[in-house]
Amino acid sequence: MTTTTLAQATTVAQRRSAELEDLIDRDAAAFRILTGDRPTGQLHLGHYFGTLRNRVRLQDLGAEVFVLIADYQVLTDRDTAEHLDEYVTGLVLDYLAIGLDPARTVIFAHSAVPALNQLLLPFLSLVSVPELNRNPTVKDEIAHSRQASVSGLMLTYPVHQAADILFCRANLVPVGQDQLPHLEITRVIARRFSERYGPVFPVPDALLSAAPLLLGTDGTKMSKSRGNTIPLSATADETARLIRGAQTDSERHISYDPADRPAVSSLVLLAALALDRDPREVAAGVGGGGAAALKQLVATAVNDLLAPVRARRAEYERDLGYVRQVLRDGNQRASEIAAATLAEVRTAMGMTY
C-alpha cells in the first residue's frame, strides 16, 4: 500500500466504522471483538482515551470482548523482551482497574495459547513474500528499528496477528489507523482460506476509533519508548508533577489551535477529554490565566477522572494472586476456543489422521 492508498483505506474504514457503530447500538451481542496490546511498558493516558475506555464501552454494551496481551509481538523490533512479567501484570491490573470484567471479557496472552500459534503455519502459506514486504506499518517499524537486521518475525507478525484475530472468529477489531494494513492481511487470509479449504473464518471489520492525538509531556507523540507519558498507574501527585513539567509555549493567552500550538492544545484536549467538554470552551475558560492555570485545570480533571481507577488498581495490587488467576482463566478459555478452531482448520485441510 502506498501512502495514498493508506489514506483511501482510512476513509473507507471510517465510513464503515460509522455503519458498524449503528449496528453495535442496535445489537452489540452480535459482535465478537478482539483487541490487544504489546507488553512493552505501562499503559498511559493516550491508551486510555484512544482505546481502553472504548473496550469498556463495548463490553458494557453487551459485545463479547477478547483482550490479547501480545507478548510474542514484543520481539519484532528487539532481541529480547525485558520486564515481561512486570508489564504483563501491569496490563492486567490496568484492565481490571478501568472496568474490564473477566466474567464477560477474556483477557489472555497469545504465548499461552498453543493452538492459536499453530494457525500461523497454514496462514503463512496463504500470503506472498511481496505482500509481506509491502506492509506500510511494518516498513515504518523497520525504518525506526535499531536492530542491525530485520528478523523473520518482524516481517511475518501481521500474519500472526491474523491468528490472534481469527482463532476466536472475531468479527470486529477496534484499531488505530496504523493497524489497518494488518487487518487487511487478516481479511485476505480469511477469504483465501475459504476459497482454498472452505468457510471456517468470518472476514472481520476494523472499527476505527477517532483516537485523539495526545502529545507527551515533551510536546512530541506520547509513546512508551520516549518516556514522555502520563502512566495510568502514576499517583495523583506524580500526575500533577508530570503535567506541571509539560511543555507549553511563550504566548500567555490559552487557545485551542492544534496546528500552530500543538503542545498547549494537547493539554487543552487532555482537560477536555477528562471533563467531557469541548476543547475550545475549555481554552476560552482558561484564557488569560496562562499555562499555570491550564496545567492546574488539567491535573485536577485527570486526577478526578482517575481517582476511582486508581482506587481499584490499588485493591487489585493487594491481591496479585487473583490477578494472575484472571490471566490463567483467560488463557484457558482462549485455549479451548483455539483448539476447537484448529480442529476445524485441520479437518478443512484434510489433516485428520
The residue ranges that bind ligand TRP (CB under 6 A) are 34-38, 68, 70, 73, 161, 164-165, 173, 175, 179
Cα Rg of the chain (Å, integer)? 21
In sequence order, what DSSP letters do the residues of 99-121 get, joined into one string?
T--TTTEEEEEGGG-HHHHHTHH
Residue 235 CB, shortest distance to ligand TRP, in Å, is 26
Q: Which of 76, 57, 73 is nearest to 65 (CA)?
A: 57
Residue 130 CB, shortest distance to ligand TRP, in Å, is 21
Residue 113 CB, shortest distance to ligand TRP, in Å, is 12
* Identity of the residue, 21 or 140, whose beta carbon is nearer to ligand TRP in the bound complex: 140
The answer to whether residues 66 and 108 touch, using CB atoms and an 8 Å cutoff, is yes
Q: Which three cell numbers stand for residue 135?
A: 506492509
Q: Which three cell numbers stand for residue 346?
A: 485441520
* Identity of the residue, 91 or 165, whose beta carbon is nearer to ligand TRP in the bound complex: 165
* Identity of the residue, 45 or 246, whose beta carbon is nearer to ligand TRP in the bound complex: 45
Angle, nearest 10°, between helix axes 279-286 and 262-275?
110
| Ramachandran category for residue 62: left, alpha or beta (phi over 0 → left; psi -120 to 50 → alpha) | left
Residue 158 CB, shortest distance to ligand TRP, in Å, is 8
* Identity of the residue, 189 or 291, whose beta carbon is nearer to ligand TRP in the bound complex: 189
The span from the CA of 75 to the CA of 137, in Å, is 16
* Identity of the residue, 138 or 291, whose beta carbon is nearer to ligand TRP in the bound complex: 138
| Coil, strand or helix at 221 | strand
* Identity of the residue, 34 or 342, whose beta carbon is nearer to ligand TRP in the bound complex: 34
Q: From start to end of the chain, where are the E strands?
A: 32-37, 64-69, 105-109, 172-175, 205-208
Residue 52 CB, shortest distance to ligand TRP, in Å, is 12
Q: Which three cell numbers stand for residue 33?
A: 471483538
The span from the CA of 21 to the CA of 271, in Å, is 26
Residue 250 CB, shortest distance to ligand TRP, in Å, is 36
| Coil, strand or helix at 182 | helix
Angle, nearest 10°, between helix axes 320-348 and 290-317?
80
* Identity of the residue, 154 or 306, whose beta carbon is nearer to ligand TRP in the bound complex: 154
Residue 175 CB, shortest distance to ligand TRP, in Å, is 6
